[in-house]
């Protein structure tokens, strides 16, 4: 590995001028040789003067104007124009600790099988109280249920005599996936598994990409020492209703399950997957103020069925790269239980 590799930083923007005002200045404070950083802003047809704002205030950033085809498709367009050895896929509602990139790069130097690293994403409010570069005492680990749902498992770091105020800085942890708000990807991963799947306009595109990387034999690490502060949901059009978000998550969950899981996993987990979703819909139908969510999930099922030809084709391509079993991938989940799935995803499933 080059001692100081070139990094392409790809931001996806949609009407995010108010976020770019703090995001890009924060990025420019990154503790890394600036000549090694390539900043690319992919603009998904913004209508808020984001493009002239970036061009007038950040000459070092290259802007790619394109139609809005979603987050993953935008990353792919930026990737096609990038030159870096590593690709950082980034949202625009971020503030960066100066050492965020150094920490994300470190695991690649130590292990050639590492394909993706992700930082600890913290709420904006914690930036004012966070001291130094030490991570907070609580760590959120991204997990993904065998039954098709993302979740986070929280662990509390033990206090030490040396630093009783906070827990020790934990070492990088292997995970199934890291959120697409901020991830650092070795370029060869794209060569091996392809880019982000444009079938996902919003939601699940990050897990899908990570799961395919895992299938191909790459490790994915959460790096708690790398700190990025995340506001959240900046790329989602405010016109999107809660019902539309439910539709997309329900549809994409089913697409992901069919496309990526092995045949053995489909047989083993499929009945529970379908049972949970059926119970979820019935639960919504029994609650008058949630019936619109039920219909959104039914429409999502029908939408996925209509795409089944495309999904089957994608599945054949995805399974060709498999070097790792689902069993090996899912072992990185933390304390998953069927009862917890039922409680979280049926009794408290909707906004």
pLDDT by residue (tens digit) across 140-191? 899 998 998 888 888 876 554 444 334 445 789 999 999 999 999 999 999 9
Beta strands in the chain, from DSSP E residues, in sequence order: 7-13, 37-44, 61-66, 86-90, 94-96, 114-123, 138-144, 150-156, 173-174, 182-186, 219-230
pLDDT of residue 237: 65
Length of the chain: 351
Copy the structure tokens of residue 181.
């708000």
Higher pLDDT, 154 or 264: 264
pLDDT of 96 > 50? The answer is yes
Q: Are 148 and 273 in contact, with CB atoms under 8 Å apart?
A: yes
Segments making up each domain of the chain, as ranges: 7-119+173-230, 242-347
| Residue 348 pLDDT | 52
| Confidence (pLDDT) at 179 | 95
**Could you give the angle at which helices 291-306 and 242-260 cross, rounded to 10 degrees?**
40
Name the average pLDDT for the chain: 89
For 98, the 3-state DSSP assignment is: coil
pLDDT of residue 160: 47
Label residue 124 by pLDDT band (50, 70, 90).
Answer: confident
Tell me, which fold does domain 7-119+173-230 have in CATH? Spore Coat Polysaccharide Biosynthesis Protein SpsA; Chain A (3.90.550)
> Residue 75's CB: how many other CB atoms inside 10 A?
29
Question: pLDDT at position 157, please?
Answer: 66
Mean pLDDT score, 276-282: 92
Q: Which of 287, 38, 130, 183 is nearest to 196 (CA)?
A: 183
Q: What is the average per-residue pLDDT within 113-128? A: 87
Please give the share of the chain, as a percent, with pLDDT higher than 90: 75
pLDDT at 169: 58
Q: Is it the case that residue 60 has pLDDT exceeding 80?
A: yes
Going from the C-alpha of 155 to that of each of 139, 152, 160, 166, the distances in angstroms are: 5, 10, 16, 13
**Looking at residue 334, what is its pLDDT?**
80
What confidence tier does 342 reach under pLDDT thresholds 50, 70, 90?
low
The answer to which of 177-191, 260-274, 329-343 has the lowest mean pLDDT is 329-343
Band of the pLDDT at 337, cuts 50, 70, 90? low
pLDDT above 70 covers what percent of the chain? 86
Region 37-46 average pLDDT: 96
Statement: residue 21 has pLDDT above 80:
yes
Lowest mean pLDDT among 76-85, 126-135, 234-243: 126-135
Which pLDDT value is given to residue 343?
58
Look at phi and psi of residue 293 and say left if phi exceeds 0, alpha if psi is from -120 to 50, else beta.
alpha
Tell me how far apart the alpha carbons of residues 168 and 171 are, in angstroms, rounded to a whole number. Answer: 9
How far is residue 75's CA from residue 42's CA, in Å, rounded to a whole number? 8
pLDDT of residue 351: 44
Question: 80 Cβ partners below 8 Å, 6+ apart?
Answer: none
């Amino acid at each position: 590995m080059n001692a100081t590799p070139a990094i392409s930083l790809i931001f996806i923007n949609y009407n995010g001028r108010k976020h770019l005002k703090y995001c890009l200045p924060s990025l420019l404070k990154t503790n890394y040789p600036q000549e090694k950083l390539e900043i690319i802003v992919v603009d998904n047809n913004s209508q808020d003067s984001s493009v002239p704002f970036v061009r007038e205030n950040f000459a070092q950033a290259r802007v790619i104007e394109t139609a809005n085809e979603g987050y993953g498709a935008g990353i792919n367009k930026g990737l096609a124009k990038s030159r870096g050895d590593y690709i950082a896929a980034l949202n625009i509602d971020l503030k960066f600790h100066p050492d965020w990139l150094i920490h994300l790069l470190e695991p690649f130097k130590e292990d050639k099988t590492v394909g993706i690293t992700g930082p600890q994403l913290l709420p904006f409010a914690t930036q004012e109280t966070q001291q130094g570069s030490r991570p907070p005492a609580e760590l959120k680990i991204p997990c993904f249920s065998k039954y098709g749902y993302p979740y986070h498992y929280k662990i509390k770091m033990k206090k030490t005599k040396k630093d009783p105020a906070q827990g020790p800085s934990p070492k990088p942890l292997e995970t199934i996936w890291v959120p697409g708000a901020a991830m650092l990807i070795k370029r060869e991963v794209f060569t091996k598994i392809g880019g982000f799947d444009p079938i996902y306009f919003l939601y699940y595109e990050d897990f899908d990409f990570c799961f395919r990387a895992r299938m191909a034999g790459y490790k994915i690490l959460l790096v708690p020492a790398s700190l990025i502060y995340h506001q959240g949901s900046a790329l989602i059009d405010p016109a999107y209703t809660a019902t539309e978000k439910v539709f997309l998550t329900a549809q994409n969950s089913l697409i992901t399950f069919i496309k990526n899981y092995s045949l053995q996993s489909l047989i083993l987990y499929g009945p529970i997957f379908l049972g949970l979703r059926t119970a979820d819909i019935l639960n919504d139908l029994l609650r008058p103020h949630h019936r619109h969510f039920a219909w959104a999930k039914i429409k999502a099922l029908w939408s996925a069925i209509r795409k089944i030809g495309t999904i089957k084709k994608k599945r054949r391509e995805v399974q060709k790269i498999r070097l790792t079993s689902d069993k090996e991938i899912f072992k990185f989940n933390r304390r998953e239980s069927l009862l917890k799935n039922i409680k979280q995803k049926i009794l408290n499933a909707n906004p």
